[in-house]
Structure 1
Amino acid sequence: MPSTRFGRGLAAALLLAAVALAAPLQGRAQGRAAAVDHAALGNVDAPAQVGNWLSYGRDWGEQRYSPLAQINAGNVARLGLAWFDDLDTMRGVQGTPLVVDGVLYNVSIYNIVTAYDAATGRKLWTYDPQVGAEWARLACCGPSARGIAAWNGKIYIGALDGRLIAVDAASGQEVWTTQTFEREGLLNAYSITGAPRVYDGKVVIGNGGADYGVRGFVAAYDAETGERLWKFYTVPGNPADGPDGAASDSAMQIALPTWHGEWWRWGGGGTAWDSFAYDPDLNLVYIGTGNGTPHMWSIRSNGQGDNLFLCSIVAVDATSGEYRWHYQMVPEEDWDYTCTQPMVLANLPIAGRTRQVIMQAPKNGFFYVLDRATGELLSAETYVSQNTWASHIDMATGRPVLQPGAHNTATPHLMSPSWMAAHTWHPMAYSPQTGLVYFSAQEQGDVYAAMDAGDFTFVRHRSNSGQQRRNDPELRARLMAQARAEEKGYLLAWNPVTQTEAWRVPYRVPGSGGVLATAGNLVIQGTIDQTLAIYRADNGEKLWEMDIDQAPVAGAITYLVDGVQYIAINAGWGGSPVYNLGPFTTGTAKLLVFRLDASGVTLPPPPPPGDLPRPPFLTATEDQVARGRELYGETCARCHGPNAVGGLKDLRWMTAETRARFADIVLRGLYAERGMIGFADVLDEDGAAAIHAFLIARANEDYADASPGAPVLPPRREQ
């Protein structure tokens, strides 16, 4: 592989950008089919492609770096809103759009895809796969989709309900559809929230659901027909069943000895719900795998074994799906850590020679650099100031050196990083211009304790963590107060060669979104302060910021149409909870598109602020509140936040009307059309009442601090 393939220099980037600007895009036509093939995706910086955004991470190496430089550090202050589309939802919108020859393809919640004229915003077509509203609950973390894929005149959708769908890029008409997983059965609580990728005519897709009890796998499908080509399981099944007859059979011989007990009863987990990368010269697909089911290692595997391939990078042959190598970041996974965070390929100068590397900053707070041909660990250092999981990575063995008391016992303890992640799925970028990696980092501890294995009961479509949530309430309260006091969020620029921080931009709280880097010496990020902000890539100086009344979590893209550079981002809040966010009001989610000197387009006014409703007095017993805390943690926390703080809707501050309807909402699906279908299959009247009692208790605990003079919107950052 040429050393410049994933290590483009500044001169080459600026030259390509200049060529593109000198010759406006040719052949652009509204609704034109997407001409995406190996030549296009293998040469994204060529003059014919440099203005496009052809894949989730722009290139197969997922660098999220653009050599376009028309918008740059010298003129970005002239940036203005060119057009926007209201996506008509209050839910999180996490998708990365694609742009092919002047057409922008975007995906919103429930996998609704719309094609636009990328210069004007005129809608060309919309395709709605009719995903049922119940999937907002059946999927672990809501109905968001992170992206789509393009190949040979088709757009590919990994639908929440497991369908892989190909639609015609010119018309939006469905071409074929195939179901990627079974939807019935105790251990079939799968969903798809990640973006499909197309590697040389093969559509690769993973799935989510490890928290609900599934056995993770990745599959590849023929891009023209939808026929499945290979399937790779990420964890072993029941040994009594023998080989699966899948591409992963040889790998399962490696993984099986690292598991103990009867893990297969609950699936095992290891779902690949987000991150992939591809090296065409090595013919390798890289898979980032997730956490275990149940989360507690003591229950899942009798507290024994590394549990391969949980929280690992696994490299497989792109043609056959067969195992080539793996590196496990989190052996003995016990903390709901995932290694599904973005993986980036680059060529770096390390120890006097150029190394072909794959880089990742997963949940556990360490930044890893591996040789992408062999999986050899080249370096790993923590990028957060506090890491109660591991002190360092032993370079001789590649294993983490765990901190004393890191593994979960019955005694509550504070873990940081926690399941909320030192770096979550939010896209990161690598700039060959600066040699730096940029990503949203955060420090959010949470309280962990393991229940006794004999007390664990598996419930389908509910988080089966195995956590004990009822004991030692006073200790838990002290630990949660500490977690809230120590919470941090920041944009981090990291040097992967020296494994050191180059610069950071601190935010008031965690929750800021994915990033984009460009040859204009820019880093672009949506912020938790409900702005879009742009910084100098070399030193982090803020150059431009705009209030947008939303906190984008998706990554921005940039593209070129008729010689004009644009920046686009989906702005819709959703994702990991934030302890100290406070009352938080946003407008509807929107697709926002910017260019230099744009004017005359304004966003609608934000919703008016409201006062916090006074919670009712607590009349429940301590036992009811304790049971409610446990049920809330397993049933509600993924969407509504740990300890009832933050999340999609902060349930501490329900209105009196909502409280009066609580049982109807939770059990009978009163708000099913909003995705809140009933939980009568996993809760009874007493359980719902216990959850309500816990929420009333939490509201009374926090009302005095949250209400008087509390801002309804986060304070604005300087313009």
Structure 2
Amino acid sequence: MQFMTGLIASWMVFSGVAATSVDQQTLNEADSKNDQWLAHGKNYSETRHSPLKQINTDTVKDLVLLNKTVLPDWRGVEATPLLIDGIIYVTGPWSKVFAVDAKSGEIQWSYDPEVPRQAAINGCCDVVNRGVAAWHDKLFFGTFDGRLIALDRKTGKKVWEQLTVDNSKPYTITGAPRVVNGLVFIGNGGAEFGVRGYFSAYDADSGEMQWRFYTVPGNPDEGFENEAMRKAADTWTGQWWKYGGGGTVWDSMAYDPELDLLYVGTGNGSPWDRHQRSPEGGDNLYLSSILAIKPKTGELKWHYQTTPGDSWDFTATQHMILADIEIEGQTRKVLMQAPKNGYFYVIDRVSGELISADAFTYMNWSTHVDKQTGKPVEADFARYSEVNAQIAPNYDGGHNWHPMAYNPELGYVFIPGRDTVSFYGRDLDWKYNERGFGTGAGWNLATGNQDDKPDIYDKKAPQKKGFLKAWDPVKGKPAWTIDQHDSWNGGVLSTAGNLVFQGTSDGHLKAYDSRNGKEVFSYDLGVGILAPPITYMLDGTQYVTVAAGWGGGYGMKNILTDKLRSDLVLTFRLAVDSKESKVNVLHEENQVAFHRYAPKNAPIQLGPKVTIPKKTFLQGETIFNTNCAVCHVVDDSRGGVAPNLLTSHMIEKQVLPVVLLDGVLQSRGMPSFEGKLKRSEVEALSGYLKTLQQQTIGDRPSSR
């Protein structure tokens, strides 16, 4: 009977009939739909835990690669696929959508929203997309240039499209929408470039906007949209609205059907340094906060701010998980989050009351969270007001967007995190930058404050590394920890087979015993993995699917393997018999096109020695840091998706203007800076880069 059901479902899909209409009851019960993966986080609670256990600690060794689908682009892939009626729905770079048959790996249809390549200039962290949402027979996704699009699920044809942003401002969308009772929720990004954050609700059938909630107040002279904005304005000073304010909702949401509350995480301030945007202090609501919203009306019920007056890019847009947990003999309805700031929060999701906050990574900016106020107690050097200071964690965060997972049987939350530390320094010459990346801080350059005072170094800070931790939210400490060489690994999946799956930046899909952290499976895919896997059952067989493609904010500048492949969707299952052998995707017959990067210290054919005035060098350095450093490195590494400019021939004085002003590489995702940079500035940038390239350290002017 189960086999026949699978055949019928497949026939209905291929004959153009969508077998499953995703309604509210279906989404409420998504946890029990083992033959589907219907929602971004498996369910509204975003646990990313599957009750399937055919693949378990004993059988996982027999996993084989069933198929791989080659996607047309080569950039970062961060999407969680949906699986409905045997079809995988996944997004790739440039907000493209693909429908892939789970068993064969064949693409059934694809949709290209034709995002202008120039739009890449508005993004901090690659042209990525984190996935689609489903409602009835439609799929919904956001585009990098700020549109919300509805597609017919069975054909991939566009049903409606809405522009959700002001395209005169540098907004982007990379996050996945969520759907509740026929309303589609979507936010946006762009805080580093000076925008005002908000998220909106759209009617799933018509595409008409129903309401919009701004996350920071606008100009008080123009009035406030609601009471929440009026109260928030009391926590700001100066003329913050001129700089945007920030607070963008660029990723996580969760929903409680019983309480009918939508939980939304908000981002950092614009600019980063509170001194620049709110010079007399203040908590700056609702930056770096968790908001509980009535989804039908957009009314704010409660908020909890993880980082008041954020000055470090400590967003609270990271993954949130809802669960019912016994704490001190009482079952509590909780929301759990491990945001960038390094604390693991357990919050009562009914009232917003803080239950606990414990450090899950190395930190020095704060000593603890005061249980009475709910606010972190800051170190005296944390705001880097007079001297440059090493802050841990840094802007990459103790945990970033990579999704966690929660195993309710074990009571563990699995955190794909990292130990990081970087210098922060107040930019004394900072001015609002309408033309590029504007943080108001030194962007790890220690741009300096007072020359007669030494920088603050943290001698206890660990080397940058990644980790996977099984976190006990009741005890407030890890049950086990896996240390990882690199700091930027993929999101995770938990299963009842006592497994935690995770992809790694060096190109492996791994599985660990969720009880003790023992590695029980590793498969070399040869391409860095950022996205979290999913699992599902078809015709009595359990599958695991992961989308792979190296890039994103970290991957633009860093790579751990010698090769980068076209993006892939890979599906695994258990071997059906002893004759079925594992086929490694790195075997010659399975090779797909890849690009090889220059090794470290690659020889460069140098032209005449470049000697430039110190003023020009510093001008070029500022231009690089403001416009280029988000994607490019200038060091002895290979770089990442974006080339290392120390090994590039594009930086010649005659060539660089053609790239930056004429946009000759725009089709490859390199935007034009026409209107943002003058030719004289491009020439200063060329001189700066050539000086670095020629390694003239003795002649190099100090960047301090």
Contact kept, 8 Å, 2:525 with 2:584, in 1: the verdict is no
CA deviation after TM superposition for structure 1 residue 27, in Å: 2.8
Residues in 2 aligned to 1:172 and 1:70: alpha-carbon distance in whole angstroms: 33
Candidates 616, 629, 634, aligned match of 2:626: 634
Contact kept, 8 Å, 2:320 with 2:336, in 1: the verdict is yes
Residues in 2 aligned to 1:306 and 1:255: alpha-carbon distance in whole angstroms: 9
Residues 3-152 of structure 1: pairs in structure 2 closer than 5 A: 27-28=9-10, 29-31=12-14, 32-33=17-18, 34-46=20-32, 49-152=33-136
Contact kept, 8 Å, 1:316 with 1:325, in 2: the verdict is yes
Contact kept, 8 Å, 2:558 with 2:641, in 1: the verdict is no
Query: Is 1:458 equivalent to 2:432 in the alignment?
Result: yes
Query: Is 1:547 equivalent to 2:536 in the alignment?
Result: no
Contact kept, 8 Å, 2:127 with 2:552, in 1: the verdict is no
CA deviation after TM superposition for structure 1 residue 404, in Å: 1.7
Partner of 2:408: 432
Residues in 2 aligned to 1:678 and 1:287: alpha-carbon distance in whole angstroms: 34
Residues 618-677 of structure 1, C-alpha deviation per residue, up to 9 Å, x if partnerless?
A: 633443333333222221222235989745324244233664633322232121001111
Residues in 2 aligned to 1:702 and 1:217: alpha-carbon distance in whole angstroms: 47
Query: Is 1:613 equivalent to 2:602 in the alignment?
Result: yes
Partner of 1:682: 676
Contact kept, 8 Å, 1:189 with 1:209, in 2: the verdict is yes
Cα distance, 1:581–1:119 mapped onto 2, change above 3 Å: closer
Cα distance, 1:518–1:23 mapped onto 2, change above 3 Å: farther
Cα distance, 1:642–1:213 mapped onto 2, change above 3 Å: farther
Candidates 181, 197, 203, aligned match of 1:200: 181
Of the structure 1 ranges 490-499 and 629-638, higher mean CA displacement relative to structure 2 is found in 629-638
Partner of 2:198: 217
CA deviation after TM superposition for structure 1 residue 701, in Å: 6.0
Of the structure 1 ranges 309-318 and 102-111, higher mean CA displacement relative to structure 2 is found in 102-111
Residue type at the aligned position of 2:64: G
Residues 590-611 of structure 1, C-alpha deviation per residue, up to 9 Å, x if partnerless?
A: 1111111165755344655744
Residues 326-341 of structure 1: pairs in structure 2 closer than 5 A: 326-341=303-318
Residues in 2 aligned to 1:338 and 1:228: alpha-carbon distance in whole angstroms: 26
SS at match of 1:438: strand
Cα distance, 1:346–1:225 mapped onto 2, change above 3 Å: same
Cα distance, 1:20–1:475 mapped onto 2, change above 3 Å: farther
Query: Is 1:588 equivalent to 2:566 in the alignment?
Result: yes
Partner of 2:388: 412
CA deviation after TM superposition for structure 1 residue 550, in Å: 1.0
Partner of 2:297: 320
Cα distance, 1:621–1:647 mapped onto 2, change above 3 Å: farther
Of the structure 1 ranges 601-610 and 161-170, higher mean CA displacement relative to structure 2 is found in 601-610
Residues in 1 aligned to 2:495 and 2:560: alpha-carbon distance in whole angstroms: 34
Residues 324-353 of structure 1, C-alpha deviation per residue, up to 9 Å, x if partnerless?
A: 000001101111111101011011111111
| TM-score, normalised relative to structure 1 | 0.88
Cα distance, 1:369–1:642 mapped onto 2, change above 3 Å: farther
Residues in 2 aligned to 1:27 and 1:596: alpha-carbon distance in whole angstroms: 22
Cα distance, 1:51–1:303 mapped onto 2, change above 3 Å: farther
Residues in 1 aligned to 2:553 and 2:662: alpha-carbon distance in whole angstroms: 26
Contact kept, 8 Å, 1:533 with 1:542, in 2: the verdict is yes
Number of residue equivalences: 673
Give structure 1 stretches of 5+ with no counterpart.
Answer: 1-18, 704-719
Of the structure 1 ranges 25-34 and 273-282, higher mean CA displacement relative to structure 2 is found in 25-34
CA deviation after TM superposition for structure 1 residue 138, in Å: 2.1
Residues in 1 aligned to 2:635 and 2:671: alpha-carbon distance in whole angstroms: 22
Candidates 361, 372, 384, aligned match of 2:361: 384
Contact kept, 8 Å, 1:524 with 1:534, in 2: the verdict is yes
Of the structure 1 ranges 198-207 and 656-665, higher mean CA displacement relative to structure 2 is found in 656-665
Percent of matched pairs sharing the same residue: 39
Cα distance, 1:111–1:575 mapped onto 2, change above 3 Å: closer
SS at match of 2:46: coil
Query: Is 1:672 equivalent to 2:666 in the alignment?
Result: yes
Candidates 535, 540, 544, aligned match of 1:567: 544
Residue type at the aligned position of 2:641: L
Residues 516-555 of structure 1, C-alpha deviation per residue, up to 9 Å, x if partnerless?
A: 1111111111112211111111111111111111111111
Cα distance, 1:463–1:379 mapped onto 2, change above 3 Å: same
CA deviation after TM superposition for structure 1 residue 21, in Å: 9.6
SS at match of 1:626: helix
CA deviation after TM superposition for structure 1 residue 308, in Å: 0.2
CA deviation after TM superposition for structure 1 residue 482, in Å: 7.8
Partner of 2:336: 359
Residues in 1 aligned to 2:202 and 2:542: alpha-carbon distance in whole angstroms: 34
CA deviation after TM superposition for structure 1 residue 40, in Å: 1.1
Residues 108-147 of structure 1, C-alpha deviation per residue, up to 9 Å, x if partnerless?
A: 1111111122111122111111111112222332211011
Residues in 2 aligned to 1:314 and 1:350: alpha-carbon distance in whole angstroms: 23
Residues in 2 aligned to 1:496 and 1:128: alpha-carbon distance in whole angstroms: 42
Contact kept, 8 Å, 1:189 with 1:461, in 2: the verdict is no
Partner of 1:663: 657
Residues in 2 aligned to 1:224 and 1:582: alpha-carbon distance in whole angstroms: 44
Residues 145-294 of structure 1: pairs in structure 2 closer than 5 A: 145-184=129-168, 188-244=169-225, 249-294=226-271
CA deviation after TM superposition for structure 1 residue 423, in Å: 0.6
Residues 473-500 of structure 1, C-alpha deviation per residue, up to 9 Å, x if partnerless?
A: 9999998998997211111111111110
Residue type at the aligned position of 2:632: H
Partner of 2:702: none
Cα distance, 1:545–1:260 mapped onto 2, change above 3 Å: same
SS at match of 2:434: coil
Residue type at the aligned position of 2:298: G
Contact kept, 8 Å, 2:391 with 2:422, in 1: the verdict is yes
Cα distance, 1:484–1:575 mapped onto 2, change above 3 Å: farther
Residues in 2 aligned to 1:501 and 1:116: alpha-carbon distance in whole angstroms: 38
Contact kept, 8 Å, 2:562 with 2:596, in 1: the verdict is no
Residues 418-440 of structure 1, C-alpha deviation per residue, up to 9 Å, x if partnerless?
A: 11111110111111122111121
Of the structure 1 ranges 347-356 and 409-418, higher mean CA displacement relative to structure 2 is found in 409-418
CA deviation after TM superposition for structure 1 residue 56, in Å: 0.9
Query: Is 1:496 equivalent to 2:482 in the alignment?
Result: no
Residue type at the aligned position of 1:549: G
Contact kept, 8 Å, 1:261 with 1:300, in 2: the verdict is yes
Residues in 1 aligned to 2:679 and 2:240: alpha-carbon distance in whole angstroms: 31
Residues in 2 aligned to 1:69 and 1:305: alpha-carbon distance in whole angstroms: 50
Candidates 649, 671, 696, aligned match of 2:642: 649
| TM-score, normalised relative to structure 2 | 0.90
Give structure 2 stretches of 5+ with no counterpart.
Answer: 698-704
CA deviation after TM superposition for structure 1 residue 157, in Å: 1.3
Cα distance, 1:607–1:635 mapped onto 2, change above 3 Å: closer
CA deviation after TM superposition for structure 1 residue 460, in Å: 3.0
SS at match of 1:258: coil
Residue type at the aligned position of 1:655: S
SS at match of 1:639: coil
Contact kept, 8 Å, 1:312 with 1:330, in 2: the verdict is yes
